[in-house]
Amino acid sequence: MVNPLDHPLAQRISHWINLINFIVLIFTGWFIHSPHPGMPMNLIRNLHFLFMYFLLINGVVRFYISFFGKNKDYDSILLNMQDVKNIWPQTKYYLFLGKHPETGKYNPLQKIAYIALPILAVIQAFTGFILYKPVQLAGVADLVGGLTAVRGLHYLIMWLFIAIIAIHVYLVFTAAYEQFLFMFFGKMRNEKGI
């Protein structure tokens, strides 16, 4: 049974905003990387940057909620020693090679993903700014290995986001469907309306 305190409204809204942000950023990023004739590239780039700002602002708000909000949850996201011990058993469970280890609200692989996502988002924004202003930021691009390396890193991180999101969606629908219903509708299946 899903505990409603596991996903307070502010956290759910942040999750919905991230969903929209990632969908728009992945599609616009794909079109920027592989444009087709007749596409309104200026609009696509502007949408890409607008939603990148939305993602970063939402990240700052979520960080604040996690550490200082009414329903702060930083302690359930940060790794502890038990999580470190459970990384391999959790991995074996997902590979159908072992039983599910005892975990808290989030298992250690979830925690690693939830810690990695904001770090990757900041790196993605950084590389995106270099790609947006390649002349002005040429020196910074050279520190990273040149504009080609920056573009490759930006593209690689997009695929990491896609992989993390795909795994997340798969696991939600196969192992935590009640959580999905609560995250998006604020209700569980056994409540009226679902």
- pLDDT tens for each residue of 48-105: 999 999 999 999 999 999 999 888 888 888 999 999 999 999 999 988 899 989 888 8
Angstrom distance (rounded) from CA 21 to CA 37: 25
Give residue 75's pLDDT.
Answer: 86
Give residue 194's pLDDT.
Answer: 44
Give residue 193's pLDDT.
Answer: 43
Q: Which of 169, 167, 159 is nearest to 26 (CA)?
A: 159
Q: CB–CB of 111/78 below 8 Å?
A: yes
Estimate the crossing angle of helix 108-132 against helix 41-68, to 10 degrees.
Answer: 140
Angstrom distance (rounded) from CA 172 to CA 165: 10
Q: CB–CB of 163/116 below 8 Å?
A: no
Give residue 1's pLDDT.
Answer: 46
Angstrom distance (rounded) from CA 177 to CA 8: 17
pTM: 0.83
Angstrom distance (rounded) from CA 174 to CA 25: 26
Q: Which of helix, strand or coil describes residue 95? A: coil
Neighbour count for residue 20 (Cβ, 10 Å)? 13
Low-confidence ranges of the chain (pLDDT < 50): 1-2, 4, 191-194
Q: Which of 11, 29, 22, 7 is nearest to 127 (CA)?
A: 29
What domains can you pick out in the chain, each with its CATH number?
A: 4-185 (1.20.950.20)
Q: What is the largest CA-CA distance in the chain?
A: 59
Angstrom distance (rounded) from CA 88 to CA 126: 32
Q: Which of 119, 124, 107 is nearest to 175 (CA)?
A: 107
